[in-house]
Amino acid sequence: MEGMDMSRFAPMNHVYRFFELEDYVKSVAGLGYESIDLWTCGAHFLVDDHGYEDVGFVKGLLKKYHVNVVSITPEQSCPKPYSMAVKKKELRQKARNYFQNVVLAAHELECPVVSINSGWQFYSETRQEAWKRSVEMVGDLCHFAEAYGVRLSMETLSRQSTLLVNRLGDLKRMMDDVASANFSVTVDIHTIHNAGESLQDYFDTFGSRLNHCHFMDYRDGVRAHLAWGDGQEDPGKVLQVFRRNGYAGNFVLEFTDAKYFPEPGKAYGQTMRILKTACAGD
């Protein structure tokens, strides 16, 4: 598939959580991947409101195994304390510091994208209260990140994760309210499927502002993101939509099912074989 070379597919370390960071990088590089998404779990790359680990070790791994970081995914969903819509006054500055540290780490790693979401609200407050907090935080961080050549890219989440940005319309409103050219869009193909939305609608609405993707297989009735070949979707068919719309971003392979934890390399190896066939078959 022209323009869909394999260097654009980036495994995430989520299912390598019970392995060391080098185990993850060595594993996916050995399978032929050239890019990764770095999820900031403390066991792999610690970031908090005080700072972040020396990136020298990560840079050494990237050089040793000939891979690059195309995006960083902070820990940010409920019940994590750092959220775009965090409420407690004393936690708001801590959350701001946390996300700023993620941006600084991304800059040092020459990583262009930090993946974000809207944060979450308490059920005992109005949606608008939490929405205003999210808009304020995201806007501040977009301005901060712009100075470091890093863009923030927001995805929709299910209603089990947040009541703020669940659908295309919510995401468009968030973009309009934040009003920053440094705000871009991540499309998660499983989440939009569950919401009954189409990938083409996202391209029609956001155009080139849609420049990041969480790319996984899925099965109706299963909440976890699946490795390609374990679900019901045809990757070649989905990739045709991206190609038709001139998509220039990367494809983060975000698998979350705990069944992959013991042998995550098998899931990514299976995915590599399937994606090579899908890309060659167009």
Which domain CATH number covers 156? 3.20.20.150
* Bridge partners, 217 (sequence order): 226
User: Residue 91 domain-assigned?
Assistant: yes
| Model pLDDT, residue 81 | 86
Task: Single out the residue of 221, 218, 149, 135 nearest to residue 179, CA to CA.
Answer: 135
Query: Hey, what amino acid is at 10?
Result: A
pLDDT, one tens digit per residue, over 134-193 is 999 999 999 999 999 999 999 999 999 999 999 999 999 999 999 999 999 999 999 999
pLDDT, one tens digit per residue, over 42-97 is 999 999 999 999 999 999 999 999 999 999 999 998 888 899 999 999 999 999 99
User: Residue 268 domain-assigned?
Assistant: yes
pLDDT, one tens digit per residue, over 101-114 is 999 999 999 999 99
User: Residue 19 domain-assigned?
Assistant: yes
R_g over Cα of the chain: 18
To the question of pTM greater than 0.85 for the whole model, the response is yes
* Bridge partners, 69 (sequence order): 36
Instruction: Give the pair of three-digit tokens for residue 278.
Output: 């899908």
Task: Single out the residue of 232, 234, 192 nearest to residue 210, CA to CA.
Answer: 192
| Model pLDDT, residue 1 | 43
Whether the Cβ atoms of residue 69 and residue 112 lie closer than 8 Å to each other: no
Q: Tell me, rounded to whole angstroms, the distance of Cα 117 from its chain centroid.
A: 9
User: Residue 143 domain-assigned?
Assistant: yes
Q: How far is CA 57 from CA 60, 195, 229, 246, in A?
A: 5, 40, 34, 36
User: Residue 1 domain-assigned?
Assistant: no
Residue 4 has pLDDT above 80, yes or no: no
Provide the domain limits for residue 164: 6-280
DSSP 50: S
User: Residue 162 domain-assigned?
Assistant: yes
User: Residue 29 domain-assigned?
Assistant: yes
Number of folded domains that form the chain: 1
Q: Tell me, rounded to whole angstroms, the distance of Cα 269 from its chain centroid.
A: 20
